[in-house]
Amino acid sequence: HMKGAIFDLDGVIVDTAKYHFLAWRELAAQLGFEFTEQDNERLKGVSRMESLRILLEVGGLELPEEEQQKLAESKNAKYVEYISKLEQSELLPGVREYLTGLREQGVKIALGSASKNAAFILERLGIAGLFDAVVDGTKVSKAKPDPEVFLTACRELGLAPQECIVFEDAAAGVAAAKAAGTGIVGIGRPEVLGEADQVVAGIFELLADSQ
């Protein structure tokens, strides 16, 4: 019986995963190499600096720390440009209904995201009020697959990990939830999310079960 639901943001609630990809790909192009959607799979759920480290590895580049900071800032500036135009229609199908339904059943809801842009995105989408707790990249220091983000979310909800279910679209996030000891619903493809208890294509698939 689920008492708490913890949602990843990018790729679960809103289709921002594509903007992260576009911004990273633009950065790679500036640096003179190609960055594919398959490479991008490794960046999903991963913090900004760790993402950059992986991207540079793909490009075979080694750069000093100071330069890396600048590149991460430049990627974020491109990303923020995309999300500042984010529309409520980019909320993924079924999300608002599913979250509202959970609240009606008394299930507590948390966000568990690596993003430092999370609060801005929730406001832009008009769904900030649906969350009992928001745990994001400004609150935690250890990136997924470390369980810190989900353990913090459980604690903020006042629940044990075993009473919570995490909804995740990234392999790193599924691994983090496993390490935290929560239930896991994978959002996306079973090939990527095989470790989850259940995999669905999107939150919309869960609507029928919850009614």
Show which residues are catalytic.
8, 10
Q: Is 11 in the site for Mg ion (CB under 5 A)?
A: yes
Q: Name, in order, each residue with C-beta under 8 angstroms of 195's C-beta and a sequence gap of 6 or more.
A: 171, 174, 175, 178, 184, 186
Q: Which of 116, 139, 142, 155 binds ligand BG6 (CB under 6 A)?
A: 116
Task: Considering only the stretches 85-93, 114-122, 157-165, 185-193, report the one whose residues sit in contact with ligand BG6 under the rule CB under 6 A.
Answer: 114-122
With 0-12 CB in 10 A as exposed, 13-18 as middle and 19+ as buried, what is 123? Answer: exposed
Q: Which of 13, 28, 39, 45 binds ligand BG6 (CB under 6 A)?
A: 45
Q: Are 180 and 157 in contact (CB under 8 A)?
A: no
Q: Is 13 in the site for ligand BG6 (CB under 6 A)?
A: no
Token pair belonging to 113:
């995201």
Q: Which of 4, 6, 7, 10 binds Mg ion (CB under 5 A)?
A: 10
Footprint of ligand BG6 on residues 134-163 (CB under 6 A)?
137
Smallest Cα–Cα separation from 6: which of 124, 142, 118? 118
Rounded CA-CA distance 176/182 in Å is 9
Footprint of ligand BG6 on residues 60-79 (CB under 6 A)?
76
Rounded CA-CA distance 174/191 in Å is 12
Q: Is 41 in the site for ligand BG6 (CB under 6 A)?
A: no
**Cα angle value 193/54/145 (rounded, 5°):** 40
Q: Is 169 in the site for Mg ion (CB under 5 A)?
A: yes
* Least distance (Å) between residue 12 CB and Mg ion: 6
Q: Is 108 in the site for ligand BG6 (CB under 6 A)?
A: no
Residues that bind ligand BG6 (CB under 6 A): 9-10, 20, 43-48, 51, 76, 113-117, 137, 170
